[in-house]
Amino acid sequence: MVGYYLIDQNANQSDVLYMEESTYQQPNGGNKQQSAEQGFADLHRPENGLSTLIGKQVNLLKEGYGEPSRIEPSSYGYDWWIYNNDEKHYMQVGVENGKIETLYAIGENVDISPFKIGQSVEEIFSKVLIETDMNFEYEGTSYRFEMTEEDMNSRPLIKMDDIFLQLYIDKFTGALSSVRYLTKKTLITQRPYELVYNGELLEAQPVPDESWTRIDEGSKQQIFDITNIMRKRYNLKRLKWDQDLANIAYVNSKFMYEKDTLPEQEKQNEELSYRLSNANIQFEIADENIAANYIDAPAVMEGWLNSERHRKNLLNNKFTYIGVGVYHKDYTQNFIRKNE
């Protein structure tokens, strides 16, 4: 079987971020993907740094970094080990069956050799040639990930020997915001770019209904953590958690999922004001970030950071409290400044 996996690249053109996914089977006789292993921006893994953990047993992680602050499930079969005791070294490590499958790092002092958090995109691109296609084979199936110009500018993909590295670029500052390391298996099941495949497509295992509550709770906490890390980067005040606000955000995300509907932006502020008043939450100013169908908390946070309207809320120094609600892959952030 030959097929396509497409992602809507107009996500940042809307006030509500939405990542649309579709899978198509290529007609017989269509162009077939190159089957040869071919990388772009092909780098070797350094001897030190976080990239050396990918594919290794979790004991190596514990020897170097100790026990995590929290362990939270994901929707891709691995558990997130959260290291957030020191925001300058914040990272999330995806562990499945005792093996490290992926790692997300945003702390300013994490060792992501040969790159650095905050590094300029000009310096990065001077070190490595990044092209638009990535071809490789996995378990007898050929895959080609295709990046758009937007992908190239905001989240290029790099091959490092037998693993992959996503660079999340803050396109407003031209600096490296965070990174994500992935095995082949994790890259295929997450499908963060358009995908063409030839053979049997590897699918993520369905998530049991009873597992979503813990996944959503973990995503909510991760969004809260990453939000304040991003704000600290710009010398902004930390936001305090408000559970009543989080409850409202959760109801909104659940409504979006169940109705398969995204609110129109011209009604959004009015709806938020009504929801806050109905819950007897006193506030001076308020606003909301919404997103749908992002793979996880790190992905949606980097999406909001690179969307002008959502970035303004995320980095608004007038806000003092935040509440986050997640339902499956629908996300809501509510921000307020209280009457105090």
| CA–CA gap between residue 102 and residue 118 (Å, rounded) | 21
Q: Encode 200-220: b = buried (16+ Cβ within 10 Å), e = exposed.
A: ebbebeeeeeeebeebbebbb
Helices (H), ranges, 260-327: 265-278, 297-305, 308-314
| CA–CA gap between residue 212 and residue 219 (Å, rounded) | 10
The pLDDT, as a whole number, for residue 3 is: 44
- The DSSP code for 62 is H
Burial class (CB in 10 A: 0-12, 13-18, 19+), 296: buried
Output the pTM of the full model.
0.89
| CA–CA gap between residue 82 and residue 45 (Å, rounded) | 23
Contacts of 172 (CB under 8 A, 6+ apart): 306, 308, 311
Q: Encode 249-274: b = buried (16+ Cβ within 10 Å), e = exposed.
A: bbebbbebbeeeebbeeeebeeebee
- Token pair of 161, please? 């020997």
| CA–CA gap between residue 287 and residue 304 (Å, rounded) | 14
Amino acid at 183: T
* Crossing angle for the helix pair 297-305 and 212-233, to the nearest 10 degrees: 40
| CA–CA gap between residue 93 and residue 50 (Å, rounded) | 10
- The DSSP code for 185 is H
Note the pLDDT tens digit of each residue in 289-333. Answer: 999 999 999 999 999 999 999 999 999 999 999 999 999 999 999
Burial class (CB in 10 A: 0-12, 13-18, 19+), 116: middle
For each of the chain's 340 residues, which pLDDT tens digit applies?
444 434 444 333 346 666 655 444 444 444 444 434 444 456 899 999 999 999 999 999 999 999 999 999 999 999 999 999 999 999 999 999 999 999 999 999 999 999 999 999 999 998 888 889 999 999 999 999 999 999 999 999 999 999 999 999 999 999 999 999 999 999 999 999 999 999 999 999 999 999 999 999 999 999 999 999 999 999 999 999 999 999 999 999 998 888 865 555 445 545 888 899 999 999 999 999 999 999 999 999 999 999 999 999 999 999 999 999 999 999 999 999 997 7
The pLDDT, as a whole number, for residue 130 is: 87
| CA–CA gap between residue 168 and residue 207 (Å, rounded) | 27
The pLDDT, as a whole number, for residue 24 is: 42
